[in-house]
Structure 1
Amino acid sequence: MTGPDPEDLTARARIRDAALWHFGEHGFDRATIRGIAETAGVSSGLVRHHFGSKEALRDACDAYLVRALERINDQVRADGADDGVNYVAVTGAVFGPHQKYIARALSEGRAAPLFDKLVELGQQWLAEVDEKRSDRPDLPLKDRAVVGAAMTLSIAVLHHHVSRGLGVDVLSPGGAEVLAPILLDLYSHPYLSPREAAEFRSRLGKDGNKD
């Protein structure tokens, strides 16, 4: 299992967690230093002492989520597939409390560091998988990682709809037990066979050359 962030026992961490909540509930523009300070149980002056500005506080929130993502990725790589840990559940436990922040920030065009880190890690995983493929991908690694990151984060953005459709909160421990096999099934059973995909690619190429 992933260990806690060493910062999590400090006043700085309480401020960060309060900011994650306020930014998620109210959005970055409407959230205030005073409200964040009240929730954290500190003075507005201490918030400014630690972070300087609301923008820097938002950056710290993003950096915290990036570190959490890196720790989970490192743990998956260290443990492999034989450890029996449901990493969908681990991810949900880490990021679930901040779902509103992630969803709102992404929809507002923010949280770029989190998105970019997911793209970076996605490229690493895809590069390793590509080496084992008999049908090598046609498109650039980064392009596929960018779209893959968007697909992965869509569950956080569409959390309520996904949970409603599956009949369980997908960020809860029970929801993770439902979601994990669905994701495995989708990844292991693509919609198109290699032959069908080749036919569609051929048609796209022909359509693009009509003019």
Structure 2
Amino acid sequence: MAVTGLDPEDLTARARIRDAALRHFGEHGFERATIRGIAETAGVSSGLVRHHFGSKQALREACDEHLAKVLRRLNDRARADPTPADVNYVAVARAAVGPYQPYLARALADGSAAPLFDEIVELSQRWLADADRDRPDPPDVDRKIRATVITAMALSVTVLHQHISRGMGVDLFSPEGDQLLARTLIDIYSHPMLSLEDAALGRAALDKIQHPATAEPRHQQEEHHDD
């Protein structure tokens, strides 16, 4: 069964050029990549590349939009089936995004994937909105900030995959890696590393560092407010 249906666009020369650009940018980087090189990778003329995209920058934007579309589909599928009995979404994501991993890692490292990063932050905020409704304590940090950090941590797996594979003892981008990463994520997210009490102490310490003359424990601030 296919992970996602093909867009009609994916059967066109435009899509072939876009996929060639994803491979070419991933191998050479944006600055070193050329329209001619992308055309050769796609097996078309430079003129056809310019006809469809106009410029190298526009082509990169099309690459980012395509990846964002793939990720939105994966996100929608996961949200529609949050407790699947027969799907490993780590494996599904690797199958869908794996061919673009070199592009994604390079673009993230050189800071050129801002629209794509922002799209993932937006998707992460939706998951946090659901989780926040069941929190026993109110969030201490704005949701977008938390989503931004979560996104950076998740995407770092792509950038640092060689180190992660070495530490895990298996190739991260393999079926065995899919299973081990999925189990690891489940274990991490199902067991908080800090209790609510320890978290409160940590916040109080940060308050004291930031405002040493006026800081007081959060629970005392709330009691004063109630008075």
TM-score over 0.5 for the alignment?
Answer: yes
Matched, 1:65 2:67: yes
Aligned to 1:189: 191
**Contact kept? 1:2, 1:75, Cα under 8 Å:** no
Aligned to 2:223: none
CA deviation after TM superposition for structure 1 residue 168, in Å: 1.8
**Contact kept? 1:2, 1:71, Cα under 8 Å:** no
Aligned to 1:48: 50
- Per the alignment, in what secondary structure is the counterpart of residue 197 of structure 1? helix
Q: Distance in 2 between matches of 1:119 and 1:184?
A: 20
CA deviation after TM superposition for structure 1 residue 121, in Å: 0.8
Superposed, 1:23-42 pairs within 5 Å as 23-42=25-44
Q: Distance in 1 between matches of 2:187 and 2:67?
A: 27
Aligned to 2:13: 11
- Among 175, 178, 182, which residue is 1:176 paired with? 178
Divergent runs of 4+, >2 A:
171-174
Residue deviations 1:66-121, cap 9 Å, x none? Answer: 00000001111222313421001111111111111111101111111211111101
> 2:88 is matched by which residue type in structure 1?
N
- Among 107, 110, 120, which residue is 2:109 paired with? 107
Q: Distance in 1 between matches of 2:65 and 2:143?
A: 25
Superposed, 1:27-176 pairs within 5 Å as 27-176=29-178
**Contact kept? 1:118, 1:149, Cα under 8 Å:** yes
> 1:200 is matched by which residue type in structure 2?
G
**Contact kept? 2:3, 2:96, Cα under 8 Å:** no
- Per the alignment, in what secondary structure is the counterpart of residue 91 of structure 1? helix
Bigger-Rg structure (1/2): 2
**Contact kept? 1:93, 1:172, Cα under 8 Å:** no
Q: Distance in 2 between matches of 1:42 and 1:198?
A: 60
Structure 1 unaligned spans of 5+ = none
**Contact kept? 1:37, 1:44, Cα under 8 Å:** yes
CA deviation after TM superposition for structure 1 residue 190, in Å: 2.1
> 1:136 is matched by which residue type in structure 2?
P
> 1:31 is matched by which residue type in structure 2?
A
Q: Distance in 2 between matches of 1:81 and 1:172?
A: 23
CA deviation after TM superposition for structure 1 residue 184, in Å: 0.8
Aligned to 2:220: none
Q: Distance in 2 between matches of 1:9 and 1:165?
A: 40
- Per the alignment, in what secondary structure is the counterpart of residue 132 of structure 1? coil
> 2:121 is matched by which residue type in structure 1?
V
CA deviation after TM superposition for structure 1 residue 201, in Å: 0.8
Deviates more, 1:125-134 or 1:5-14: 5-14
> 1:15 is matched by which residue type in structure 2?
I
CA deviation after TM superposition for structure 1 residue 136, in Å: 2.3
Q: Distance in 2 between matches of 1:189 and 1:69?
A: 26
CA deviation after TM superposition for structure 1 residue 192, in Å: 1.2
**Contact kept? 1:122, 1:145, Cα under 8 Å:** yes
Structure 2 unaligned spans of 5+ = 214-227
Q: Distance in 1 between matches of 2:95 and 2:174?
A: 7
> 2:45 is matched by which residue type in structure 1?
S
**Contact kept? 2:125, 2:147, Cα under 8 Å:** yes
- Per the alignment, in what secondary structure is the counterpart of residue 133 of structure 2? helix
> 2:173 is matched by which residue type in structure 1?
L
Aligned to 2:3: 2
> 1:62 is matched by which residue type in structure 2?
D
Percent of pairs with identical residues: 62
